[in-house]
Every structure is written in structure tokens, then in C-alpha cells.
Amino acid sequence: MASILSVGTAVPPYLMPQDVARHLTGEHFRDQIANVDKYLTVFKSALVDQRHFCVEPEWFGRDHSLADKNRLYLDWAGRLCTEAIRTALDRAGLEAGDIDHFIFVSSSGIATPSLDVSIINALGMKPTIRRLPLFGLGCGGGAAGLALAGKLAGDDENATVLLVAVELNSLTFQRDDFAKSNLVAASLFGDGAAAVIVRGGAAGPINILKSTTLLRPGTHNLMGWDFVDTGFRVVFSRRVPDTIRAMMPESVANTLADEKIETGDVASFVFHPGGTRILEAYQDELHREPSDFRASYAVLSQFGNMSSATVLFVLDDEIRNAPHESGDYGLLAAFGPGFSAETTLLRWA
């Protein structure tokens, strides 16, 4: 058994209202996409009201090298992770030196040594801390990281595990990419970091019961990055929502099997809000109402899709704003490149 003790989140300072993002994107794509106004309607249907970026709006109007973007990534990712970790530690009543394992998840920047080293040094964590940096999991990274944190803590009831997910999607915008997928990404993605503290045993407010992964063959090209001279170019297929629909019944059934419960027994759904069509796929396949995904819609509205960190923002919202009784089941899930489903069964203590 392992328990979630706390969650902390952080976002950068530049707030981008959706109408401003729509205007800037329209100006950029207008001469490159015929009838661009038809495609700009995605900014309304995305159900995003605002997002936070680590760069000011003017930054998107200039060219930037991969080196320049990565320097910004290292600076801002370090700041946001540190803020999120301090919040999580404070909420758990712990010190930085209490952490035994550090799982670091990110797919929007590069560092060797991985960025967790500078964070460990800045916060004064113990030199014997076990590090596990994860790259390339994309939107599924937060859920996959939580599953791993639960495994590490479950194997040692004395272990305290820190999971951190950070993505700075604003820095991956490609000015010379006039594909419609890039326009859609501009309507949806934001920046943020989240930290979760997991401990062995059942002492925390939320117990981690079981986690599963499901990889679907032949779908590796649906989502990810193309690496080009100017950085990370987004790959996002229109087939993603349909693939999620196809995978979800098996993924959820695998996760619930040991507890012998049905989806109707689940009180809360902590799902990554990848976009409107993805939320609709969740609702249809699980036969639930939009209100059952309240936290997912709330996070999408206020922060957009922050890739790996997003599902942990949803978890934070669910903990702080949704009433739960002892014994309530929760289902946490995210889908990411691979194409993979990462699902965890939770129970409120």
C-alpha cells in the first residue's frame, strides 16, 4: 500500500486570455491557411479560458534557436518545480531532507545531468536521494510517474517519494510550422509544474491501490515530437480521440479487476483533459456525465493542457474542492505518446 500525502502546483507569470491567443494565432496563420477563420473556431470549442506561459506574448513573434529555448526551459522549469515542491512539502508537513526518491517527468526540454540535480541542490535534499528522470512520456507522464511513485513507496513503507512533472509547451511553438495541427496546439497548450508526495503505508488521505499501463501497437506516430533545428515540433493526430475510445474499456477494466468494482462504483474521475473531444470520449465510454469530470474541465479552462503536469493539477483540484467520504474510489488516468493509457485506482482513506 502507498498513500498520496500532498500535491503542490505552480504556473509562470504571463497570463494569456484565450481571445488574445486567438488573435495572435490568427495574425500568424492568416496568410498561410485559406479560410483561417474557420479553423480559429477551435479556440472557442477548446473550452480554454486562459493559460499561463513562461514568455511574454511578444516572444512568439520572433525567431528563437533551440539553444535559446532550452536555456529558458532550464531557468523556468527549475523555478516552477521548486515552487511546486515547497508547496507540497508544506502541505505534507515535511522537509526537503525527508525525500528518499525523486521522480522527475518532463518532455519539453533537455538537460544532462537531468534538471532534478539542480533542484535537489537548491532545496538541500540529502545526497543519498534516489533519482529517476523520465523523458518522452508526454501527456501520460504525470500518471505514469504517479504509478511508479506508488510502486516505490508500496515496496518500502518507510520510503517517501517525490514526483515532479513540468512542461513548458510555450517554448515548443514553431513559427515556421503552418500545419493545422500547430494551430490546434496553439489553442490548447500551456505551461505548469506539479509535485506529489507519496509515502509507503496507508497513512495518507488517498491510498494508491493499483496502476496499469496499456500500450496499443501501431499507434506510435499519433502523438509526440518531431525534432527539428529550431526545437520540438508537435505531432498530434486527429485519430487520438478515437484511439482513446478504443483503449479505454480494456484499460479501465484491467485497473478495476482486482477490486471487483465497476465504473459505477467510482466516485471521482481524475482524468487528463487533453481537449474537448478527449473529454467527450471519456464520458461516452464510461457512460458518465460531464459533471463527473468537473475537476478536469476546471483545469482545462484555467490552465489549458500542460501535458504531463495536467492530471496532477486535476488531482490537486479534486483534493481541495470535491467532498469525499472514507472509502470512496477514484480513477486517475492519462493517455500519451506510444500510444499508451496510464490508469491508477485510488481510494480515499
Q: What stretches of the chain adopt beta strand conformation (E)?
A: 2-10, 14-17, 50-53, 101-105, 130-134, 160-168, 191-200, 206-215, 223-228, 231-236, 266-271, 329-336, 340-348
Q: Which cell is 213 given?
A: 499501463
The answer to whether the CB of 39 falls within 8 A of the CB of 183 is yes
Distance between CA atoms of residues 348 and 332, nearest Å: 13
Cell of 38: 474557420
Alpha-carbon dihedral sign for residues 38, 44, 47, 53: positive
* Residue 81 appears among annotated catalytic residues: no
Cell digits of residue 131? 533519482
Helix (H, G, I), strand (E, B) or coil at 133: strand
Distance separating alpha carbons of residues 341 and 137, to the nearest angstrom: 11
Q: Pairing between strand 130-134 and 101-105?
A: parallel
Q: Is 37 within 8 Å of 23 (Cβ atoms)?
A: no
> CA–CA separation, 267 vs 327, rounded Å?
10
In sequence order, what are the beta bridge partners of 145? none
The separation between the first and the last C-alpha atoms of the chain, rounded to the nearest angstrom, is: 12
Q: At what angle do helices 66-92 and 116-123 cross, to 10 degrees?
A: 40
Catalytic residue among 16, 77, 139, 198: 139
The residues carrying an active-site annotation are: 139
